Structure 1
Amino acid sequence: MNWAHILSGAWLKGSIRLWLFDLGCVSFLGVALLGLIMVLGLPFIEPGDTQQKVDTLVLLMNMAIGSICIAISWQMNRLAATEWACIVPQYRQNVMLQAAALLLLILSVACGFYIAYDAFDKITESLISLLLGLSFLYFSLARKNAFHLSFFLYISLPMLPYLAQKLPQEASWALLLLNLMLLLLVKNKLQGLTWNNKARSVYLNGLEMGWVWLPSPRSMALLNRIEHSLHPANYFIGPVFSMLLLLMPLTTLLLAVIGHYYAVQIPVLVFLVQFNCILCGMLHWSRIQRWRAVESLFVLPGFDGKQGMINVFMQAQYRLLAILVVSMMITASIVSLLDQSMSLSLWLHMVLTTLFGCAATLGLGSMCRNSMQISGLIFFIGLLSGWSSVGISSVEQSQQVWGLIGWDLLFLSLSMLSLWGAKRCLWRGDLLSR
């Protein structure tokens, strides 16, 4: 290692262009940045240290750690896809040093957070988050196709508090040791990183499919009907959208059955609320990243000009919203048969949270025009997860949640208003002229 090169600061040259002007990388960095802004700013906006606030901030911190690991993995994949990287002096070394600096920065902020809040009992969650992030980084270096699992790294974050509760207090030291071992493994992989012809295909597939891979479902009649009903809203993300639309409630029911059998409380409905909102966010994430495909959509028959295409797109979003709400109603009803603590007020709270959360995500997503704006939706979904968890906490304390229903209705009116007004912002001033 050339310490003179590191101390000179020359390795920082080009870092802004490399990390902040790459569409894929800045999407993940944007999520991390918004999480950090909330972690650092919320104590000044809302003074007073409460357990609920600390839990929410820990979730945002873990989201930032996971996002940084995914962004680093994306840059390493891009580095492996760059044929000329080995002939530019110190280019590969500079990229790796910048990645190490980002990881060190987020870990330093996490340590400062736990010291400031005296919340060392929550450090196990961040260690698990770091373990998952480094594991993802290692496997994406070992197998390029593993980068498609980045979506599942995000949706695993809300489960960390419940996993941490099952571990003994001494597990923190074991997790710390595992993270150090993974860092060494990642370092060895990076030292042997060479050009890989699969890395470019992963990059292109990531832009078109939102970095999620699933087998083609085109042979299933039900999925074909769903795809047809959601066209053209699902045009940019492809058939994976319909597959996830069906898999999420089935996975929720499977977790509910497992929790009932082993007598373990798993907040499956909170996960489903978050998964539904993430799916709505992915719809517009893929739309923005495949912005060139707007012209291909526009030339398809069936649209009466640009405004006609916008109207059909918005109608498909309303149909998607109806599908998600009906899915939540059915799933929550089945879960209530397995969980006796499931009350009518909690059932209604989850359904309304799904309705206003997905409506707000679709509405705000329609207004987004660049990657940085769409990253804010992930931040919004993190806050929504905390709101839906409030109902679960109230039920655990043998309380009804009718008081939350009024807030749900208020949020619902605002979210439907944003979705109604989104058609005035969708593709405004874009490639197409009215």
Structure 2
Amino acid sequence: MSWAHIRSGAWLKGSIRLWLFDLGCVSFLGVALLGLVMVLGLPLILPADAQRKVDTLVLLMNMSIGSICIAIGWQMNRLAATEWACIVPQYRLNVMLQAAALLLLMLSVVCGFFIAYDAFDKITESLISLLLGLSFLYFSLARKNAFHFSFFLYISLPMLPYIEQILPQGANIVLVLLNLALMLLVSKKMLGLTWNNKARSVYLNGLEMGWIWLPSPRSMALLNRIERSLHPANYFIGPVFSMLLLLMPLTTLLLAGIGHYYAVEIPVLVFLVQFNCILCGMLHWSRIQRWRAVESLFVLPGFDGKQGMINAFMQAQYRLLAILVVSMMITASIVSLLDQSINLSVWLHMVLTTLFACAATLGLGSMCRNSIQISGLIFLIGLLSGWSSVGMSSAEQTQVWDLVAWDLLFLLLSIASLWRAKQCLWREDLLSR
């Protein structure tokens, strides 16, 4: 590595085209950028409750950290899949320097945030988020298939405050040392990166399956029935969609049982709301990533022209919404038997939140036509999951009927978005009427 090359700034050439014109990369960068924009804008509109304001901003900062790590992992995977990268002078080095600069810029913004808000008591959450992001980056460099688990970085965000509570005093020093050690390991892996024949298959799987790998479920009759009922909405994401529909409530019940046995408070219903919203977002993420597959869907038998295909897609979304709501009703009822703090109002709040949040995600997702818009939708999912936690984080865990009233208002808005989605889906797309 030449310091003269670094000082010259030549390594920045092509960075805009590389990072902002790649569909997969810009999707994650868009989430990170929206998180930073909201960190700057939310203090102007949030109520005067300083503690809640800081908690919300820390969540957004952690989401940005995870998104940056995933974007870097995506570029490293793409670099490993590029056969001609080794014959272009300094191409690999430039990409790695750009990735390092992006991560350092993100960390500088995070440090500035904690200094500006004097919120160093919350720095543990960001250190854990960085540890998870760097760990993901290291394992995705070591094993290309590990990139499929990028999905779980976003899921882990609501768990960070609970992880912080169980850590002993002085854990920040250990976390800093672990992050520095991981940075050294990641840099070593990046410098030794070579062409890998598995990287291309990971890239294609990312476009077609939403970057998640699960065993083939085609041999299960129940999953086949779910797949048929959700066609053509699940056409772009594949059979993994039906598998997640069943795994999410089962995992929620398992965590609820573990929390009840060990007397640990785990907001399992909040996690389930977030899982459901992310799953609805993935439905349209995969649709946008596989935009060329629209024509192959259109030529399948069973559709009466383009409008018939749109109607079938929307009806499948309605069926999906019904499945998610019924699943939440059953799961929340079982969890309430283990957690006495979940009364009728909290139960109704979680069910209505699932209904309007998933409806809004499906409606707005149908309106999305590019990666920037779908990144904004994923960011909205983070805010929706924050709303679902309001009822569960009440200090007295009593009645939350005032939140239920807001849920009903939000439900009207989400229904309006679903109605509007029918007019926007595949509007002026490759298909002609």
* Band of TM-score, shorter chain: over 0.9
Contact 2:47 2:53 (8 Å CA) reproduced: no
Q: CA shift at 1:53, angstroms?
A: 1.9
Match of residue 406 from structure 2: 407
Residue 246 of structure 1 corresponds to 246
Distance of 1:411 and 1:374 partners within structure 2: 20
Q: Give the 5 Å matches for 1:380-395.
A: 380-394=380-394
Supply the distance in 2 between the matched residues of 1:3 and 1:42 (Cα, whole angstroms). Answer: 40
Matched residue, 2:418: 419
Q: Deviations over 1:403-429 (max 9, x none)?
A: 111110000000011011101000000
| Corresponding position of 1:428 | 427
Aligned length: 433
- Which sections of structure 2, spanning at least 5 residues, go unmatched? none
Equivalences for 1:14-413 in 2 at 5 Å?
A: 14-46=14-46, 48-394=48-394, 396-413=395-412
Quick one: distance in 2 between partners of 1:235 and 1:137? 30
CA distance in 2, matches of 1:33, 1:130: 17
Return the alpha-carbon distance in structure 1 between the equivalents of residues 107 and 47 of structure 2.
24
Contact 2:43 2:53 in 1 (8 A): no
The answer to whether the 8 A contact 2:148-2:211 is kept is yes
Q: Which moved more, 1:72-81 or 1:46-55?
A: 46-55
Residues 341, 398 of structure 2: 8 Å contact kept:
no
Q: Quote the offset at 1:44 in angstroms.
A: 2.6
Helix, strand or coil for the counterpart of 2:325? helix
Matched letter for residue 423 of structure 1: K
Using the alignment, how far apart are the partners of 1:367 and 1:409 within structure 2?
23
SS in 2 for 1:103: helix
Q: Which amino acid aligns with 2:328?
A: M
Alpha-carbon shift at residue 55 of structure 1 (Å): 1.2
Partners of 2:363 and 2:247 lie apart in 1 by 24
Deviations 1:217-238 (A, max 9, x none): 0000000000000000000000
Q: Secondary structure at the match of 2:156?
A: helix
Q: CA deviation at 1:45?
A: 3.3
Give secondary structure in 1 for the equivalent of 2:432: coil
* Deviation of 1:398 (Å): 3.8
SS in 2 for 1:212: coil
Root-mean-square deviation over aligned CA pairs: 0.9
Distance 2:383 2:51 in 1: 15
Q: Give the deviation of 1:47 after TM superposition.
A: 6.3
Q: Is the 8 A contact 2:46 2:53 kept in 1?
A: no
CA distance in 1, matches of 2:53, 2:224: 43
Deviation of 1:169 (Å): 2.7
TM-score, normalised with respect to structure 2: 0.99
Using the alignment, how far apart are the partners of 1:393 and 1:178 within structure 2?
31
Q: TM-score, normalised by structure 1?
A: 0.98
Moved over 6 A (4+): none
Gaps of 5+ in 1: none
The percent of aligned pairs where both chains have the same amino acid is 88
Of 411-420 and 50-59, the range deviating more from structure 2 = 50-59
In structure 1, what residue type is equivalent to 2:182? L
State the distance in 1 between where 2:316 and 2:425 align.
Answer: 14
